[in-house]
A and B are shown apart, each in its own frame.
Chain A
Amino acid sequence: MSNTPTQTPPTGDSQAVGATINPVQNKFTDRLSHVLADLGKNGIFIALIAVVVLFSILTDGILLRPQNISNLVVQNGYILVLAIGMVMVIIAGHIDLSVGSVAAFVGACSGVFAVQWGLPWWLSVILSLGIGALVGVWQGFWIAYVGIPAFIVTLAGMLIFRGLALVVLGNANIGSFPAEYRALGNGFLTDLFGEFEIDPLTLGVGAIAIIALVVQQVRTRRGRQKYGQDVEPMVWFVIKLVLISAAIGFFAYSLASYKGIPITLIILAVLILVYGIVMNRTVFGRHIYAIGGNRHAAELSGIKTRRVDFWLFVNMGTLAALAGLIFTARLNLAGPKAGDGFELEAISAAFIGGAAVQGGVGTIGGAIIGGLIIGVLNNGMSIMGIGIEWQQVVKGLVLLLAVAFDVYNRRRSGGR
């Protein structure tokens, strides 16, 4: 494959001085450097595969059984929803410790709406999301416009909303939600179409996903080539596509042979798609990265940093509410202990997924994979019958090692 990057020679006017960088134009090293760069970039993805392989062996394949794969998604859905908002907050250089409490608070409110007041499920959902947004407005106000560090504001929020959750619940659990509401956490798309041995709808969606992915990747590649950008070698491109397609295929087949597509997965897929585009391709997303990378420079470039900060927390509050709804729906119960420790799992997911503590670095995809790694660890160790105490130790070590690996990698590549 010929992929000569169209490198325009420096058209320096005669005054140009200093050494011009002459990249080694050697096909083999070029290709190798691509593979290495990709491995570095996708290190987190490879880590996920390694964890999956390890636990499939340790659990004698139980991990990859259809039912368990389906469970993995449903059990971790709310953490992944939180991880999306959290990584955005972290990229901007903030943190949010309150999401677990907010999820509990909103779950409690939704219990009041849907069970005690008997409102229709959709109205309860909308009201609950609205409350989450209001929580975000409250916290965003203090952070963006008063200038109190997010750590403090959300630490306070962690206490405030946990307390309010207890107030709303009035020392009791609220339970037995309407079926439509419960579907948020427990439902499957096949419920709508009846049951098959292997659900054709799920397979169809899987196939569409694969086709969409391939088309999108090929188009991006063509676009880049058209604009004379460096692209990875075709071989590597194809191998990558085949591997990812195979993974999606296997995933879809597993879901199809169990109960079909979980509603939680649909919510997640939409969120990942939308937020992926927001972070990569919209002005708002770019501003988040710019603020995290250098707040002063962003301000002096005309970026309205306060406004961005504010909306980030409104967004986080809304996603925390959504996570609270999914969790409540799954348990069919709004209780005082809900959301305990969610913030730490979400933060871990973001950092395992390559976000930087100083801000400016991170991706939605990374955070999702980070969340999945935690999920597989939880699930795998539970299957193996490892106690909760050792699970905590292992998860702590994984977080530490993941970030250490990242720091080491960055230092080696001379980055900052």
Chain B
Amino acid sequence: MTNNILEMRGITKTFPGVKALSNVTIEVERGEVHAICGENGAGKSTLMKVLSGVYPHGTYDGDIVFENETVEFKDLTDSEAKGIVIIHQELALSPYLSIAENIFLNNELKGRGGLIDWNKTNFEASKLLARVGLRENPTTKIMDIGVGKQQLVEIAKALSKEVKLLILDEPTAALNDEDSDHLLDLILHLKGQGITSIIISHKLNEIKKVADSVTVIRDGKTIETIAKQEVTEDRIIKDMVGRDLEHRYPDHTPNLGDELLRVEDWTAHHPQDTSRVVVDNVNLHVRAGEIVGIAGLMGAGRTEFAMSLFGQSYGSRISGKVFLRGKEIKTRTVSEAIEHGIAYATEDRKTYGLNLIEDIKRNISMASLKKLERFGLVHDNEEYKIATEFKNSMNIKAPNVLVKTGKLSGGNQQKVVLSKWIYSDPDVLILDEPTRGIDVGAKYEIYTIINKLAAQGKGVIVISSELPELLGICDRVYAISEGRITGELPIAEATPESMLKLMTMEKPR
């Protein structure tokens, strides 16, 4: 008898032509928080799908031992019955149902006559909400609470199933720092109640905070399991990418030119609630060759500012002035903004950035088809050639440019989005969370691309919630809070502490 709640031994899983997992072994001790790290495509999700029965027994080789008993799951229901619950990155909640309804979805509490007992449902739900520290009425609809709280509802749902092993797939990817901290505390709290967790994450600092041990997977193989006291960021990174990463950020010597873009008194209101100010009198500028950061917590109005500037894609009652090279321009529609040399790469590339059912080539040309037009027809061979050039120069990993972007990893998808905007030949690029959900190695590549753009004399605005990233790549940073620019610092003076202070500065009331 060991004290392991879970052992996966020699797991090998092949897809036609690809060996996704090869002889992966992982041991999770009862009552610990076990982190699994690896680059995108390393096989983390596949491993979890094997564990939770999404890939049923028989479709993989190797053994799963759960609570000292070899298990053969046929599907998710099977694994849940044993107390293994997985919470996916994309939350599986129904927005129009209440919190309580979601918690007991497909596990409804029935009263007399087989009908749902709503009083009991709401009562039990409020008990579960208390356990996860969520103060919300169980009858509130999911769509009316934020992502952070939705994540807690997912955990409450898991608790309702008497979970023994909780698997969280990148649980904080979409959360701001405050919500992330709360969630991590909750995981530790549940650990105190004897619930074992596996957490899959890219974020090394949070792994250090909660994990008792870390298993690193690379290219479908287990590299090593590191105990808490030995965990260092450098070691995890080295394991993940298979080499030392001396610098997380490429060197960048700014070569600043004249002012490219200046925004004056930019104000935007909420699209529905038109009396609410979301972007409040923002003033900023970017010079040629400059990388400027906008730091702000989630909901601070960063994305709202960028999108309202980019063809009024967000908001209502927008006012303010935009100058390009000292000349005032209008950016009322997206095509107008593009024509004036502004590009905006969205934070949510799957929803707003890419046509996932279309190939790389057509995604790259999407914003600049006019350039490919000859006698009214799109020159498709030229399109192929240009897309292939981007594939090579941006190092997009795909057999050719006819691959659908839906099949690419996050990092490669982001490179396609960047290619699209670079091909539109902008003067100023606004990159909203350019490295969200991207693994360490690909992040470095994205930073290198950003540097190259600046070196070509373009102005780059990077919006990010990861402070180290902004401090690592920018020449100058703005802090934004409650829709207002609360400060501006040259990079030499910016420290995480000084930035955070500005980012949390409240409006004088």
Task: State the A residues within 8 Å of B (CB).
Answer: 5, 7-8, 10-13, 15-21, 23-24, 223-224, 226-230, 277, 280-283, 286-287, 289-290, 293-294, 296-304, 356, 360-361, 414-416
Contacts and interface: CB of A to CB of B under 8 A. Distances in A.
B328 interface: no
B2 interface: no
B333 A304 contact: yes
Contacts of A17: 39, 241-242, 439, 441-442
B333 A301 contact: no
B88 interface: no
A13 B378 contact: no
Contacts of B370: 283
B338 interface: yes
A277 B374 CA distance: 13
Nearest to A11: B392
Interface string B193-225: 000000000000000000000000001000000
Contacts of A277: 377
Given A18-B397, A229-B381, A297-B352, A283 B358 contact: no
Interface in B32-88: 39, 41
A226 B365 CA distance: 20
Given A281-B380, A415-B357, A227 B385 contact: yes
Given A17-B242, A18-B39, A7 B335 contact: no
Contact of B395 (A11, A224, A287, A360): A11
A300 B395 contact: no
B310 interface: yes
B335 A304 contact: yes
B391 to A, nearest CB: 8
Given A17-B241, A18-B41, A23 B399 contact: yes
Contacts of B442: 17-18
A294 B381 contact: no
22 contacts: A5-B400, A7-B400, A11-B395, A12-B395, A13-B445, A15-B250, A16-B445, A17-B442, A18-B442, A19-B219, A21-B399, A224-B384, A227-B382, A229-B381, A277-B377, A282-B377, A294-B351, A294-B354, A294-B357, A297-B351, A300-B313, A415-B406
Contacts of A8: 388, 392
Contacts of A293: 355-358
Given A228-B388, A286-B362, A300-B334, A361 B357 contact: yes
A280 B346 CA distance: 27
A15 B441 contact: yes
A223 B381 contact: yes
A299 B376 CA distance: 22
A16 B384 contact: no
Given A19-B41, A297-B354, A360-B358, A302 B441 contact: no
Nearest to A293: B355
A24 B16 CA distance: 12
Given A17-B442, A18-B409, A415-B357, 10 more contacts: A10-B395, A11-B392, A18-B41, A18-B442, A226-B381, A294-B351, A294-B352, A297-B354, A302-B335, A302-B367
A13 B445 CA distance: 9
B330 interface: no
A290 B369 CA distance: 11
Contacts of A19: 41, 219, 397
Contacts of A12: 395
Contacts of B357: 293-294, 356, 360-361, 415-416
Contacts of B356: 293-294, 416
Contacts of A223: 381
Given A282-B376, A297-B352, A416-B356, A227 B366 contact: no
Interface string B118-147: 000000000000000000000000000000
A149 to B, nearest CB: 18
Contacts of A287: 369
Contacts of B420: 301
Contacts of A229: 381, 384, 400
Given A20-B397, A21-B398, A302 B39 contact: no
B445 A230 contact: no
Nearest to B380: A281
B373 interface: yes
Interface in B226-268: 241-242, 250
Interface residue tally of chain B, by bracket? 35 or more
Interface string B299-324: 00000000000110100000000000
A-B CB proximity, top 5 nearest: A17-B441, A293-B355, A302-B335, A301-B367, A281-B377
B334 A18 contact: no
Q: Which residue, A17, A297, A301, A416, has most C-beta atoms of chain B within 10 A?
A: A301
A286 B358 CA distance: 11
A304 to B, nearest CB: 6
B388 A283 contact: no
A294 B395 CA distance: 25
B223 to A, nearest CB: 14
Interface string B402-421: 10101101010000000010
Interface in B167-188: none
Nearest to A24: B17
B472 interface: no
Contacts of B346: 300
Contact of B366 (A23, A281, A290): A290
Given A15-B441, A281-B377, A289-B358, A302 B392 contact: no
Residue of B41, B338, B369 with highest tally of chain A CB at under 10 A: B369
Contact of A15 (B41, B219, B444): B444
A297 B355 contact: yes
B487 interface: no
Contacts of A7: 399-400
Contacts of A294: 351-352, 354-357
A131 to B, nearest CB: 28
A8 B411 CA distance: 20
Contact of A303 (B250, B344, B366, B398): B366
Nearest to A415: B404
A294 B313 CA distance: 15
A301 B365 CA distance: 10
A241 B73 CA distance: 51
A225 B381 CA distance: 10
A180 B466 CA distance: 73
B341 interface: no
Contacts of A301: 334, 338, 366-367, 420
Nearest to A229: B384
B337 interface: yes
Contact of B397 (A10, A280, A414): A10
A311 B378 CA distance: 19
B364 to A, nearest CB: 11
Contacts of B392: 8, 10-11
Contacts of B355: 289-290, 293-294, 297-298, 360
A118 B78 CA distance: 76
B428 to A, nearest CB: 15
Interface in B1-25: 17
Contacts of B402: 230
A13 B448 contact: yes
A157 to B, nearest CB: 29
A283 B219 contact: no
A303 to B, nearest CB: 7
Contacts of A16: 395, 441, 445
Contacts of B409: 18
